[in-house]
Structure 1
Amino acid sequence: MSLPDRRQILMGAAATALTAGLASAAQAATPKDQLYALFDAFFDEDLSQSPEQATSLGLDTGKHADARSRLSDRSTAAWLRDRAEPAERIARLKTIDRKALSGDDAINYDTALFNYEARQGTSRFDFGDGARPFVLTQFYGSYISTPSFLDGRHKIASAADADAYLGRMKAFATVLDQETQRAGADAAKGVIPADFIVDKAIAQLQQFRSLPVEKNVLVASAARRAKAYGDYDAKAAAILTGEIHPALDRQIAALQAMRAKAVHDAGIGRLKDGDAFYAALLKIYTTTNKTPEEVHRLGLEEGAEIQARMDEILKKRGLTQGTVGQRMARLNTMPGQVFANTDEGRAELLAYCTERLAKLQPLLPQWFGVMPKTPVVVRRVPAYTEAGSAGAYYERPALDGSRPGAVYINLRDTAERPRWSLATLMHHEGAPGHHFQLALVAESNLPKLRQNMGFSANTEGWALYAEQVAMEMGIYDDGDDLGLLGMYQARLFRASRCVVDTGIHAKGWSREKAIAYMIETGGDPEVRVSREVERYCANPGQACSYKVGHTVWAALRERTKQRLGSKFDIKRFHDTALLVGPAPLTVLEGVLDRWQG
């Protein structure tokens, strides 16, 4: 019997013993007590399995203090454990009497059950990496995430912290080899990313590998933050050249060998069981039962409606010739709309974004009774991750309050972020979007397990709905019709994602067809669209969560408003919805459909 099989048996035995112990202790406990004891057990297991999560949450202390020198196990044995985990956790949850739970306790149970059942949908396939079909791409892999994590998350305030940093550098070399082995095992099954994905991953690895030792972020970070405790920059350099560089070389060589067998077909429908895998991914990311065809049609229909609204505004500005996309593209050439692609221009762009968030602050109390206490800041995506990073993203604050919420903007090319597009970006990522929802989660009394669950359709749907709310608050009523166009273009972009993602993975669209569709539809710059489409190719399904989620959020508000009539209050609606916390859309709908105002 192989080692992974023995490990699985041992893990299963341990889980059975733990469940038996919980069941014995639960004889005198209520179902509510049983639920939260189980949640604590799950969360403790999560922290043990993900040292990065423990550190990011500020919980790498006490019994999890050893996490500070470790990284997550990315071996085949760990992958097998992760595949088995959803079914095992479902079984443990179902030992609790769901009918005996009500209110928040029932919401917590239903949310956890949905989470593990959705994850179980991809666990039955013998390839991929959870909710992703590939181990290594230009968007994910430890070669991207670990250097950023060590520089930005691993605190160094003592010699012990610096020693732990070196321990994680050594672990990084091990993780690189583990991912190389798993990507190779998938390739042997015919699971290879498209050729352009492999090419970009190789290029990024080579760029990281070729940096002068002293300029590599891992060494530079040690030199900057640990010099007070000894010659840690020299020690970090020795680990980089002696252990990490050879592991990077092995990963590059493995991908180069894989490249010879890669095809240009962009979607995972070409893989064995690819269609079923994609359907399972849509379940995870949309938290609905919508089929690829339904999501595709939603994108087309809502896209046409949004274009009609944009057409009206463009005509008022005298822009009447060409498609909506062509006319939107011409806006980028208007004076004052593009910031200089220099460090000074980037600083000016970030300052403008901060100003837009400040402009909204006086209006928020009219629409929200509960708002986060934690501040939000605007930052540039680190230059060394720009090539593989999304255009913008939100990073939630630490649970211990040691880190604010942050909006990161990819400023590799400032032309991708014209001035007229930035207001709605800030409302999506910052206030009242991701920051309002996720900072409130960090500040809440929700069980830690629930605080750390993610449901893309809920969070991305809320953020897109928040763009709509900012418009309704009057943020564009001062004659900022360009900003309003930016809001509609952002919404059109999300509708186009539904069309393109399902087109690629369910209808056999090529990368080139998807790029052409998005440029023609919305007029976004080709560089930005190309990177986005390539992200959908590498991470199927996730891009559909935005517009599906927004559609549900907007419809839910209208349904609640009609049901409650004069009793409806927008502040209480928002407060009630946000305080549900991370949840599948089905659970959120149930809460608000029962809400009496």
Structure 2
Amino acid sequence: MRQRKQTCLSIILSLLLIAGLLTGCKGTGQLPKLLPRSETSAQTEAAAYESYRENTLKVQQDFDKRMEELFLSEVDNSLITLHYTLADPSALGITDYDRTLGSYTVEDAKNAVKDAKAVKVQLDAIDKRLLREDQLLTHTILSSYLNTMISSEGMELYDQPLSSSLGIQAQLPILLSEYAFYTRQDIEDYLSLLTSIDTYYASIAAYEKERSDAGLGLCDISLDRIIKSCNAYLIDANHSFMAETFAERLNQVEGLTQEEKDAYIAKNLAAIDGHFVPAYKSLIESLTSLKGTGLNDKGLYHYPEGKKYYEYLVNSYTGTSFQDIPSLKAAINAQMLDDLTSMDKLLAKNPELAKQMYSYSFALTEPHQILENLKSQCQMDFPSIDGYECNIKRVPKALESILSPAFYLTVPIDRPQDNSIYINNGITSTNKNLYSTLAHEGYPGHMYQTLYFNSQNTANIRKLLSFNSYSEGWATYVEYYSYGLDNGLDKNLSQLLKHNAAFTLSLYAMLDISIHYEGWDLKQMAEYLNHYFRISDGSVISTIYYDIVENPANYLEYYVGYLEILNMQKDAKKALGSSYSDMEFNRFLLDLGPAPFSVIRPYFNEWLVRQNRPAANGQ
């Protein structure tokens, strides 16, 4: 769930006034270079070196300290963020924090930009030449993150917190239902969160009213879709997933008596009836009152600063290394054509594959068996990880129509063993796509990448910096990789399915740009899909169109991340030839960790040089 924090980057890094102390001794030019230096000269150089070394260590220690202070300041701005990042915040001295969901206001966004500017000034004052390699990477990533945040200034009302499937109102209940109970305090915190949801949603409703008054309101079609998703949460407290999961989580807390459990269960039911359900009813009423006020039923292009905001979103969501959106779209179209060409070649050789696309089945259909199979086969191309558990859970039936096909919930830094993957049985087919879905969400996808990064990363601040295109791009990349494994499918069929999946995602990404950056309306998109792909079902086209309208740049997160990784892999294979290794390429991406691709690309180019060096030396 993309949720704006109450404040962001509120701590100001201390200004590091670093003077360059490395000076060279000036010679007279009269003595041969091989003659020994004078004792005084050697002592002077030694003193200068020691001073430089001492200052460098001081700068590095200060940087680590400031980054940890920044992490500690930011991690408790939201209790949801805090709990999903640290299972035991008290171990880091965090005991006093806001136990509500906070608010969602324009002022919050303005304060976030203000704080980002202040931190950026102090970050720029650091002499990067004195940082360790890992610190320099953190500095570069954080600087890029801040620059992107600052670029949103003045467009605070363009944010879109609500959408039918990816909005806060659709995803927050899942985060609440998965809120782990490690201690009694966690139970109390959860109940506090739950009782604050009506206040939080009231702030979102006020924000949507402010957007509407500014001429940026949601159109009636989008409002109806969001209201429909809200209706799914008008639940009966006694017979709901919110009550069921609460009782299950209580059993994880040691020392609770049955009397205490019963008391907590009663409080939870009261909070559902008294706050959770009323929050959704109130949100529905507020959104209904806005019907008729949102005049734009098309993309961001048709708002006054829509194109500018979309440029910010693309940069924020994808961190792309492409210079601008037109060049990005050209790259998407080129890869889309490559996948179509590959499909045509496969079908030309074996026309029967077209029929098999609708009747195939992977060899394995049980989730845990699939994950073990993936782990076993991936060891040849991915560094191994151990010491984790994964719980496979089912999306509640009442929510199947409004949630994603599957999703992985990230684990706290200090509880890497706890992992949960939700499968939406209403959308995900056990036979047709569970195998590839678990590659995306589990191993070697989100779960694997998260656990690997947490085990390697030493800068906690990076845990809070979200780079979804790296994460989703990686998961998409390995999802398509899974089609090439021994999965029970004919190899040609596997390749056809992979190219078809990649093509479909590229089409959505291209439509995203066409709608939000170039201004396509529903009719233009329908004509395009009918002309080139013979898609003419009006309800299908309308669903696609408004999914994209409600969630600008969402599909780009997935596809652009995949495209960036794919292009780097192509470049690596071309440059390294027979010395190329999937294992080393994957290790490079994993070791670097989540970052904008504009940052990753220069590091990739350096990696290529290092990989080429042994070959150049004949080693």
Q: TM-score range by the shorter chain?
A: 0.7 to 0.9
Aligned match of 2:171:
145
Aligned match of 1:197:
222
Q: CA deviation at 1:515?
A: 7.0
Q: CA deviation at 1:115?
A: 1.1
Q: CA deviation at 1:55?
A: 0.6
Aligned match of 2:614:
none
Q: CA deviation at 1:481?
A: 3.5
Q: TM-score, normalised by structure 1?
A: 0.82
Q: Which has the larger radius of gyration?
A: 2
Deviates more, 1:526-535 or 1:436-445: 526-535
Mapping for residues 155-174 of structure 1, pairs under 5 Å: 155=181, 157-158=183-184, 160-174=185-199
Q: CA deviation at 1:594?
A: 1.4
Q: CA deviation at 1:303?
A: 1.6
**What's the secondary structure of 2:14's corresponding residue?**
helix
Aligned match of 1:291:
324
**8 Å CA contact 1:298, 1:495 repeated in 2:** no
Q: CA deviation at 1:153?
A: 1.4
Return closer, same or farther for 1:299/1:233 CA change in 2, 3 Å cut-off.
Answer: same
Q: CA deviation at 1:279?
A: 0.7
Aligned match of 2:340:
307
Counterpart of 1:400 (choices 393, 397, 414) is 414
Counterpart of 1:253 (choices 280, 285, 292) is 285
**8 Å CA contact 1:390, 1:532 repeated in 2:** no
Return closer, same or farther for 1:177/1:331 CA change in 2, 3 Å cut-off.
Answer: same
Q: CA deviation at 1:434?
A: 2.7
Q: CA deviation at 1:278?
A: 0.2
Whole-angstrom CA distance in 1 between matches of 2:535 and 2:407 = 21
**8 Å CA contact 1:376, 1:404 repeated in 2:** yes
Counterpart of 2:270 (choices 204, 218, 238) is 238
Q: CA deviation at 1:92?
A: 2.4
**8 Å CA contact 1:428, 1:464 repeated in 2:** yes
Q: CA deviation at 1:579?
A: 0.7
Mapping for residues 64-143 of structure 1, pairs under 5 Å: 64-67=94-97, 69-128=99-158, 133-143=159-169
Whole-angstrom CA distance in 2 between matches of 1:84 and 1:523 = 47
Aligned match of 1:538:
550
Return closer, same or farther for 1:577/1:386 CA change in 2, 3 Å cut-off.
Answer: same
Whole-angstrom CA distance in 1 between matches of 2:121 and 2:87 = 27
Counterpart of 1:510 (choices 510, 515, 521) is 521
**What's the secondary structure of 2:157's corresponding residue?**
coil
Deviations 1:293-332 (A, max 9, x none): 3333333332222122222333444349xxxxxx57x843
Mapping for residues 54-69 of structure 1, pairs under 5 Å: 54-62=82-90, 63-67=93-97, 69=99
Q: CA deviation at 1:256?
A: 0.7
Q: CA deviation at 1:277?
A: 0.1
Return closer, same or farther for 1:365/1:236 CA change in 2, 3 Å cut-off.
Answer: closer
**8 Å CA contact 2:419, 2:447 repeated in 1:** yes
Return closer, same or farther for 1:353/1:223 CA change in 2, 3 Å cut-off.
Answer: closer
Whole-angstrom CA distance in 2 between matches of 1:422 and 1:244 = 33
Whole-angstrom CA distance in 2 between matches of 1:73 and 1:490 = 39
Whole-angstrom CA distance in 2 between matches of 1:220 and 1:105 = 45
Counterpart of 2:79 (choices 37, 51, 55) is 51
Whole-angstrom CA distance in 1 between matches of 2:453 and 2:405 = 24
How many positions carry a matched residue from both structures?
A: 557
Do residues 479 (structure 1) and 490 (structure 2) align? yes
Q: Which has the higher helix share?
A: 1
Return closer, same or farther for 1:366/1:193 CA change in 2, 3 Å cut-off.
Answer: same
Deviates more, 1:275-284 or 1:372-381: 372-381
Q: CA deviation at 1:31?
A: 2.9
**What's the secondary structure of 1:387's corresponding residue?**
coil
Whole-angstrom CA distance in 2 between matches of 1:218 and 1:142 = 16
Whole-angstrom CA distance in 1 between matches of 2:374 and 2:295 = 48
Aligned match of 1:573:
585
Whole-angstrom CA distance in 2 between matches of 1:28 and 1:304 = 51
Counterpart of 2:505 (choices 485, 494, 516) is 494
Aligned match of 1:450:
462
| Uncovered stretches (5+) of structure 2, i.e. residues with no partner | 1-5, 19-53, 251-257, 612-619
Deviates more, 1:197-206 or 1:477-486: 477-486
Do residues 273 (structure 1) and 305 (structure 2) align? yes
Q: TM-score, normalised by structure 2?
A: 0.79
Do residues 465 (structure 1) and 491 (structure 2) align? no
Return closer, same or farther for 1:463/1:204 CA change in 2, 3 Å cut-off.
Answer: closer
Return closer, same or farther for 1:112/1:135 CA change in 2, 3 Å cut-off.
Answer: same
Matched letter for residue 495 of structure 1: S
**What's the secondary structure of 2:155's corresponding residue?**
coil
Deviations 1:28-83 (A, max 9, x none): 96332232222212211221211111111234532434448432443444333223
Q: CA deviation at 1:440?
A: 0.6
Deviates more, 1:486-495 or 1:98-107: 98-107
Whole-angstrom CA distance in 2 between matches of 1:395 and 1:527 = 32
**8 Å CA contact 2:11, 2:70 repeated in 1:** no
Do residues 215 (structure 1) and 239 (structure 2) align? yes
Return closer, same or farther for 1:350/1:513 CA change in 2, 3 Å cut-off.
Answer: farther
Whole-angstrom CA distance in 1 between matches of 2:521 and 2:290 = 20
